[in-house]
Every structure is written in C-alpha cells, then in structure tokens.
C-alpha cells in the first residue's frame, strides 16, 4: 500500500533513546570485558536454565543461557553462534538458533501510551515449541573463532494439551489451511501494519476489538518506523542492539495476540526501503553506500553477496526470536516488492528462491512462506516456486471514485489466483489506494468483501487495509462478527473449496440479484445471494434496496442425499431459516426458496451424516 504513517515521537521517547544509548554503551563495555589482551579465551557455557521442566504440547520452552565468550557483535553468528539441539521422544532432531536480547518491561497499563523500563543486562535465550508428547532431551552448543563449548544434557517432559499446533497448508485440501492436528483454519481479519502514538498500547485496543468480533488474523510489518530491527543507530546494519525496544514490542504483540487466538502474518521488508520514488526510504537505508552500506543502487539488494549475507543474518535472528510462536501464521518476505526501484522479475525471483531455501533451513518449525505485489497480475514466476506456500492479492480502487463493486473485485481475483494450485486470499483491499474509505462511512464495502471471500474459493477473508484511520475510529469491527459466527456454525473446513454458479429465479424488475456459490471439501455448499446494485457506490448515488421476496435458487451437481439448509442473516449474524432438503439420484439438482432479504443473505447446505 502506498502510504507512510505520520507518527510523531514524543519527548519521553527521545529521552528513552538517549538512556538506551547509555545502556548500550554499558553493555558493550561489559561484552568487551571478556576480551583479554594477552590471549584469546575459548568460549564457555556456565549455566542453562529452562523456564520449566514440564511443558504442555505446543507451549514455549525458554532456555536462559549464561556464557563467557569474546565478540564485538552478538548478532553476528560468525563471531558467536549459540544453538540448541533438541531430540524428540521419537528420535527427531531439531536444531534451534539462540539469540541475544536486552530485556525490557512495559510500565504503562494496557491501552495507554507505551512506556518501557530501561533495559536490563543483556541475555542469551533459546525459544522452542515442542510438538511431541513425551520425554525430550537437549544440549546447548556455543561456537566462536576461539573455540567451541557444549553444555551438559538437559531433559524436559511434554504433556498433552488441547493446542492445535502450527498452521500449514491443509494436507487434505491443498487450497486451504489447517493446524497440525488437522483442524481446518479459515482466517478472518485485517491489516494492522504498525502502531501509532500509543505504540504497543494501540495493539491492546485493536486486538481486543478484533477478537471480540471473531477476528483471528492480522498482517504486521517490520517497518523502520515500527517493528523493524535493522535500520538506524550507530551500527544499524547487521547489528540490532539499538532497536531492541522494537524487538520487545514485537514480543508483546505475539504474546497478546496468542492470548486472543489471533494469528500474525509477519512482513519482513516493505517496498519503500528500496525505493527513492514510492514511499521512499532509500536515502536512510543502512544498506545504502551513502550510509556505510554495500549498495550503490536499491536493486542491488537482490544480487549483492554482502547484502544477501546480511539479510540471512537478519533472518536467523528473526527465526530465533519469533519462530517459536504457533500464532505466527507465515513469513512474508516483501510487501509489494514490485514497487522497489528498477524492479527486475528475474533477479527478484532468484532471490525469493534462494531466501526461501535459507529460511526453510533456519526455521525448525517450518512456518509457511509468502510475499506480495502491488499489481495483482504479478509475479507468476514467484508464485510457482516450491518454496512459496500460498499466493496473495493486493487490490485498490482508483481515486477519486474508488472501486465501484468490491465484492466483484475480490471474487474475480481470488478465483484467478486458483490457477497456481495453492491457497490464496486478498491480503490488502481498499476502495481507494490514496486515502481511507471516507466515502463509505458505514463500511458497506467491508461487509461485501468479507462475504464475497466465503464463496470465492479463498483460504481466508479479504483483509481491509485502513485499520487505524477507518475501521477503528468508526468502530467497524461489527462487520467481522456475522462472518465469524457463520464460519463457526458451518465449520472452517466448509470453505476454500470449488466455486460454482447458482441461478436465481423470480427476480423483480429493477433488481439485479446474483448468487455465488462454493462447494467445500467437506461436502458443504455455501451460497451468498446479493442485490448486485446495492453496492456502496450505487447507494451513495441514491439507490435504496427494498425487501425482496418470492425468489428461488437452483443448484446443480450436488450428491444425492438429505441436506440441512441454513439461511443466515449477514448483518445480525444469526439464522433466518433452517430446513431440510433432499437431492435425488437422477438430476442432482436442488431448488431452494430464498427467505425475504434486503441487501444480501447467505446459506449453507450441509449433508446430513448417517449415524
């Protein structure tokens, strides 16, 4: 999306920055104290302390590691490489990188402007999420140019839990998502790219409102003005010491989202970092040769060996610190990479192929990987890569009139992306790319894109972009609840299916009633019937949909049998009518009377299971 935030930094934040610099200096002196002038000392592991010895399955095991070693940059694995090797009850071996951090505490109350404590002494940690019940063992390894060290062996037991695990591409339905335990997942949510003046306090409010209305998915950027860990500071490139407060903020976000059942798509880079034209940040980018970096041009980021080495280092830290999270939905390499300067599809495709392989090797938890483009028609060469797990679409209407029919846009683009035989959904949508959707104050288009997603074959709902200056101030979260309750009623496995057409009869003159359908992999058929004239645009011009009655819809190709039919109020989020129907073995056609409605109505036709 082509916008940058106008976030002002309060004076207390600047004071904290100077205090932070002082602490960093003290930390560096402490680190340097290990260096002996006369001789190089081999590294030592002096203690390994787990946060617990009994761990529920898919919960966090955290190891606090005390060590002595020589290094200048604790984020450079060539100087100091900390890892743990875990062995599962069935003999699987998982290697997990460790990381250095400065610990903070948030002093402010939830929802208030964030105020962080001064960081304490640096710590080394290893975060691990076990996926097998039983007895596990581990050993911690430390390596520096001066030598290697190994801890004594440790043990812990993993107990059963109800946690469903990490989210993957669904093995039973490769167009959808599912947890490790096989339970299907269908995302309902919005973008929450970065915080505003309250910093992490903004997320307290936004996440609560989304969760209260059934939302379960957000998309977050590691932007320079937000959660980015590699940008400014005295050693901004390849050294994340100056931005440990941002890393702590991201810790808080993952923890709070986990409590609320919300999954996070983590965007690692945004296009402006490599652009002097579109949301330009290139002049301040530490990779820029003018700032001491290795690159003369933004496009060299994708081919320069030093730049790739530095990005691999950043990937390692990101995996070490946040890879443990079961609510990490996916890594997204780029937001709209085609908006970087001098975009070259061949070199960008090669970069994605290489870095997907690197990330897959680094990440012991095997989270999904994706990327994104501003032009929904790009980039087939990347979507077809085996290392890219699902496709995404960004689409915006053009100013000043915006997108006249958002539902149609979502339906068309989601269905077009099905040609890649991977899960897909619309990860950014807006009526107008240049500004919030003030022309639709009630969120009519938000309602429409959410319901269109249920019948488009998408693996998640379309995600609106304007979260902080449209959805939240206008309290439009209410549009998520009817969809989430519908999905909860019919089951997430009823979606991400095969789109099909349905024919509506009895349409009165002056109305344009359309029906869209999707056959779920579990045999459930979902319908969305709407007055296609009752878009936000036509209603703004004066069209007022009136209640319509006497309609019927014809469905073909259903398996013979008995069905429960659920008609759903898309505004109130409750059943309108519940009946049964029988499909004969001869024609496999079902004709249903549609309850009276005004703008739209949804339905699910569920096979009745035999006892």
Which class for 542: exposed (0-12), middle (13-18), buried (19 or more C-beta within 10 A)? Answer: exposed
**Residue-level pLDDT at 586:** 84
Q: Is 48 exposed, middle or buried (0-12, 13-18, 19+ CB in 10 A)?
A: buried
- Predicted confidence at residue 3, as pLDDT, reads 36
pTM listed for this prediction: 0.94
Q: Chunked in runs of 10, what are the mean pLDDT values of the chain (611 residues)?
A: 35 40 40 45 97 98 98 97 98 98 97 96 97 98 98 97 98 97 98 97 98 98 97 84 97 98 98 98 96 96 98 98 98 98 98 98 98 96 98 95 96 97 98 89 97 98 97 97 98 96 92 96 97 96 95 93 97 98 89 97 90 43
The predicted structure's pLDDT at residue 13:
39
CB-CB contact of 420 with 385 (8 Å): no
Cα separation, 376 vs 428, in Å, equals: 10
User: Can you read off the two tokens belonging to residue 339?
Assistant: 């908006």
Strands 93-97 and 81-87, sheet pairing: antiparallel
* Model pLDDT, residue 198: 97
Q: Give DSSP secondary structure letters for 401-446.
A: T--S-HHHHHHHHHHHHGGGSS-EEEEEEES-TTS--TT-TT-HHH
Report residue 401 as tokens: 């009139």
State the pLDDT at residue 39. Answer: 63
Is the CB of residue 606 less than 8 Å from the CB of residue 566? yes
**DSSP-assigned letter for residue 551:** -
pLDDT value for 25: 38
Token digits for 183? 């339970």
8 A C-beta contact, residue 419 and residue 462: no
C-beta neighbour count of 110 within 10 angstroms: 13
Q: How far apart are CA 470 and CA 473, in angstroms?
A: 6
DSSP 68-136: E---S-TT-TTT-EEEEEEE-TT--EEEEE-EEE----B-SPTTSPP-BPPP-S-EEEEEE---SSEEE
């Amino acid at each position: 999306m082509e916008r940058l935030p106008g976030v002002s930094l309060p004076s207390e934040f600047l004071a904290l920055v100077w205090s932070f610099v002082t602490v960093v200096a003290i930390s560096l002196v402490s680190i340097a104290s290990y260096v002996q002038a006369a001789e190089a000392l081999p590294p030592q592991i002096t203690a390994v302390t787990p946060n617990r010895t009994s761990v529920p399955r898919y919960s966090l095991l955290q190891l606090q590691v005390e060590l002595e070693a020589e290094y200048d940059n604790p984020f450079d694995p060539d100087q100091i490489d900390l890892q743990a090797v875990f062995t599962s009850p069935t003999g699987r071996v998982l290697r997990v990188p460790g990381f250095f951090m400065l610990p903070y505490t948030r002093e402010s109350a939830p929802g208030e402007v964030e105020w962080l404590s001064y960081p304490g002494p640096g710590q080394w940690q290893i975060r691990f999420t076990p996926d097998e019940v039983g007895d596990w063992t581990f050993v911690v390894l430390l390596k520096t140019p001066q030598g290697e060290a190994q801890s004594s062996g440790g043990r812990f037991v993993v107990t059963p839990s109800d946690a469903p695990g990490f989210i993957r591409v669904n093995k039973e339905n490769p167009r959808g998502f599912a947890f490790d335990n096989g339970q299907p997942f269908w995302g309902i949510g919005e973008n929450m790219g970065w915080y505003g003046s309250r910093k992490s306090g903004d997320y307290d409010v936004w996440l609560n409102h989304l969760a209260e209305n059934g939302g379960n998915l957000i998309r977050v950027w590691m932007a320079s003005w937000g959660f980015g860990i590699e940008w400014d500071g005295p050693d901004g490139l390849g050294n994340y010491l100056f931005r440990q407060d941002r890393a702590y903020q991201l810790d808080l976000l993952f923890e709070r989202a986990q409590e609320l059942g919300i999954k996070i798509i983590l965007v690692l880079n945004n296009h402006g970092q490599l652009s002097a034209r579109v949301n330009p940040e290139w002049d301040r980018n530490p990779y820029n040769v003018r700032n001491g970096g290795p690159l003369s041009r933004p496009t060299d980021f994708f081919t320069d060996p030093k730049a790739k080495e530095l990005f691999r280092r950043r990937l390692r830290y990101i995996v070490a610190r946040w890879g443990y999270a079961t609510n990490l939905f996916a890594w997204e390499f780029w937001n709209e990479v085609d908006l970087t300067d001098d975009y070259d599809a061949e070199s960008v495709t090669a970069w994605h192929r290489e870095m997907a392989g690197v990330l897959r090797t680094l990440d012991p938890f095997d989270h999904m990987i994706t990327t994104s483009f501003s032009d929904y028609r790009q980039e087939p060469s990347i979507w077809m890569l085996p290392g890219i797990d699902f496709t995404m679409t960004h689409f915006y209407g053009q100013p000043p009139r915006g997108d006249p029919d958002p539902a149609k846009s979502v339906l068309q683009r989601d269905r077009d992306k099905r040609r890649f035989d991977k899960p897909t959904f619309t990860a950014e949508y807006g009526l107008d790319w240049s500004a919030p959707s003030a022309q639709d104050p009630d969120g009519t288009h938000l309602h429409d894109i959410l319901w269109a997603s249920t019948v488009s074959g998408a693996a998640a709902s379309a995600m609106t972009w304007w979260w902080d200056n449209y959805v939240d101030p206008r309290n439009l979260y209410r549009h998520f609840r009817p969809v989430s309750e519908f999905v909860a009623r019919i089951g997430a496995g009823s979606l991400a299916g095969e789109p099909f057409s349905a024919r509506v009869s009895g349409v009165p003159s002056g109305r344009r009633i359309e029906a869209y359908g999707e056959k779920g992999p579990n045999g459930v058929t979902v319908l969305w019937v709407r007055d296609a004239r009752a878009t936000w645009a036509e209603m703004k011009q004066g069209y007022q949909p009136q209640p319509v009655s006497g309609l019927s819809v014809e469905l073909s190709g259903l398996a013979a049998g008995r069905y429960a039919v659920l008609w759903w109020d898309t505004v109130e989020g409750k059943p309108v009518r519940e009946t049964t129907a029988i499909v004969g073995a001869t024609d496999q056609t079902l004709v249903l009377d549609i309850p009276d409605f005004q703008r739209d109505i949804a339905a699910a036709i569920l096979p009745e299971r035999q006892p």
